[in-house]
Every structure is written in C-alpha cells, then in structure tokens.
Amino acid sequence: MGEMTMRDALNAALKEEMERDDSVIVMGEDVSGGAGGTSGKRDAAGGIFGVTKGLLPQFGEDRVIDTPISESAIVGLANGAALAGMRPVAELMFADFVGVSFDQIFNQMAKFRYMFGGKAKTPVVLRMAMGAGMNAAAQHSQTIYPILSSVPGLKVCVPSSPADAKGMLKQAIRDDDPVVFFEHKALYARKGPVPDGDIVVPFGEAALLREGRDVTVVAIARMVQFAAKAVDKLAEEGITCDLIDMRTTSPIDEETILESLSQTGRLVVVDESNPICSIASEIAGLAASEGYHDLMAPVQKVTAPHTPVPFARELERMYVPGPANIEAAIRSVLENE
C-alpha cells in the first residue's frame, strides 16, 4: 500500500490497463500535446491535468491520439472505435464540454445496445474533470453527473479517493457498457492510500466510510471529504453518523443507503450539483418511497444553489456546500429528537 495522488492513481490505472489489453486506446485534446509545436517535444501536456502523462512515449501515437478541438467528433470517434472492437478512453477535458458533444453521448453511445437489439456493446470510457474550486466560472466548473445519471444506458462514476479512482477507472475500462467518469478537479492533487496490485472497484457498491447511530450522511466526490470533516467534528460531541460515499450515481446502491437509514432514521444528502433534479433529490425520493417508515425527520439536502457557478472567490465559496453547511444539516435532522 502506497500513498499517491488521485492524478497518479488515474495515470497508473490507464497505464496498467493499456499494458494489459492492446485494445485500450486513449484520445482527446492534448492527451499528449506538443504535436506541431516548435520545441519538438511530445507529451508536452499529458492531458490538461496531467492524467495521461507518459502514455504516448510508452504506447505510441496509434494508441494515444491527440485530437483537434472537436468534442463532438472526439466522442463520436470513441463510439465508433468501440463498436468496431476497441476500448477507447476519451477525455473531454472539462465536464462542461459535454454540452458540445451531448448528441454522441445521450443519443448515440447510451442507446446503441438497446436500440440495436442487444447486439452492440459500447465499451467507451468518457473521462472529464468536474467541479468548482478553481474559480473557473460558469462554463468550466459544473458537476453535471445528475444529467448523465438520468440517461438509461450510461454508467456514471464519481470517485472521491485515489484508491477508488484507480479501481473504478480500471473497472470502467473493462466494463462493456459506456461509462462517464467524473474526476473532481479539487481532488487531483490530494493524496491517499492506494493498495498495490490490480484493484478493481465494482459499480453500484457504495462505501461506508464512517459508522454511527444517529444520522445517515450520503455524499458524492469532493463532498465526501467535506462531509467527513463535519461527521468527525460531530463525533467529538457524541453525535455519530454513517457516512456513505456513493462512488457511482448510476447505478445507485440503494441497498446500502436504505440499510443505513433503517438504523438511523435520519438522512442528509450532500451533492455539489444544482438542487433541482439532483442526485440529492433522487436519494431523498428513495427515502420517501422505500425508506418512508424508517424516517424520523425530514430529509435534508445540502446542495449548491440553483444558479450557474459564479466566478469571484467570495461567490464560489458561497456556492459550494462546505463542512459548515453539512454540520448544520446534520444538527437540523436531529432537532426533533
């Protein structure tokens, strides 16, 4: 077991899967970089966040494909390559650029298998960086996993730790369904323990990170880190919580959430996305329908407000839910105790 950043864990997953399977190819803008530049250096970027660094020198241009800025064609390329037997890992840089390529994602890759009578498989992984935290404003900061999680046919990953990032990316590459893989920008440089060897994290299995009696706290991606802070702080006062990291928002591990809720009777869901049609709404809905008889307090949703992501530091800080908001929500579901 070694310590590594999420960036390095993702890089290792890509490298190991490319070594393991020749049909795995990587494509996107500047996944290597430097082609046509005056320095003559390739691998000049290694991806805008450095996740694909070193792949071109090891695997060559046929398997590490720098593309022009053409997001719609990048996803289309991955779709076609997948239908023709490859396992493409396409990078969209920023999750917001899904907007440019949405047809290829939700009308094409998500539907091939179903529409074609179950005869097609589309083992595409679509990697993208999401989330606020860099003051990158409204078109470079969104967490759009709720939108993609609502599309039948897509699997959606939202890892919160380096170990999960590695294990889930490996599973995504091996998976025969299209997988949208969200990497939170604010987590790339965070270190965590990563087990040695070939780790694979199956989809639809949430992780129980803290065990407690009083409240079930469900969180996603960067929000897991903030929820852990709030939960640990309250534990010092004797308020203990189950902390559940969803890990995938499609499929959703309903069983783990409902099982925890049956023990605590109180639920807080933390989601960095906008509140309407969010994963927080989905989990609250799950509790209302399947967990109704266990509920001892109204479900609290902790989300961003219903606004685009603002630019200024002061505004972005207000926009992103933080440990204090989560702590307040946990306290509020305990109020009627």
Partner 1 sequence: MQQNPDQIRRSYRQMRLIREFEERLHIENPKGEIAGFTHLYSGQEAIAVGVCENLREHDYIISTHRGHGHCLARGCDPKGMMHEIYGRADGLCKGRGGSMHIADLTKGMLGANGIVGAGQPIAVGAAVACKARGDGSISVSFTGDGASNQGTVFEAMNMAVVLKLPKLFVLEDNGYSEHTGSSYGIGGDLKTRTEGFGIPVWEADGFDYFSVYEAAEKAVAHCRAGEGPSAVLATATRYFGHFEGDPQHYRHKDEVANFRETVDALKQVREKVTEAGILSSGELDEIDAEVLSLIDDCVESARTGPAPGADIMMSDVYIEY
Judged by CB under 8 A, does residue 322 bind partner 1?
A: no
> Cβ contacts of residue 224 below 8 Å, gap of 6+?
160, 161, 209, 243, 245
| 35 near partner 1, rule: CB under 8 A | yes
Nearest residue to 196 via CA among 9, 28, 6, 33: 9
Separation between Cα atoms, residue 22 and residue 126, nearest integer Å: 18
Is 140 an active-site residue? yes
What's the rounded Cα separation, in Å, for the pair 78 and 74?
Answer: 6
Q: Considering only residues 47-106, where is the footprint of partner 1 by CB under 8 A?
A: 48, 66-73, 96-97, 99-100
Q: Among 17-25, 36-44, 201-209, 210-218, which window interacts with partner 1 (CB under 8 A)? A: 36-44
Determine, following the binding rule CB under 8 A, whether residue 117 of this chain makes contact with partner 1: no
For position 294 contacting partner 1 by CB under 8 A, the verdict is no
Q: What residues form DSSP beta bridges with 223?
A: none
- Helix H or strand E segment including 19: helix 6-20
Query: Under 8 Å CB-to-CB from 58, ≥6 apart: which residues?
Result: 15, 18
Provide the greatest CA pair distance for the chain: 68
CB of 253 to partner 1, least distance (A): 33
State in angstroms the smallest separation of the CB of 258 from partner 1.
Answer: 34
# residues near partner 1 by CB under 8 A: 46
Q: How far apart are CA 304 and CA 166, in angstroms?
A: 27
> In the numeric block, which tokens belong to residue 337?
């105790």
We find the least distance from the C-beta atom of residue 69 to partner 1, in angstroms, to be: 5
The answer to the question of residue 134 lying near partner 1 (CB under 8 A) is yes
Q: Does 133 bind partner 1 (CB under 8 A)?
A: no
Read off the DSSP letter of residue 253.
-
Q: In the bound complex, what is the minimum distance in angstroms from residue 176's beta carbon to partner 1?
A: 29
Residue choice 15, 23, 44, 263 for contact with partner 1 (CB under 8 A): 44
Residues that bind partner 1 (CB under 8 A): 29-30, 33-41, 44-45, 48, 66-73, 96-97, 99-100, 134-140, 305-308, 310-316, 318-319
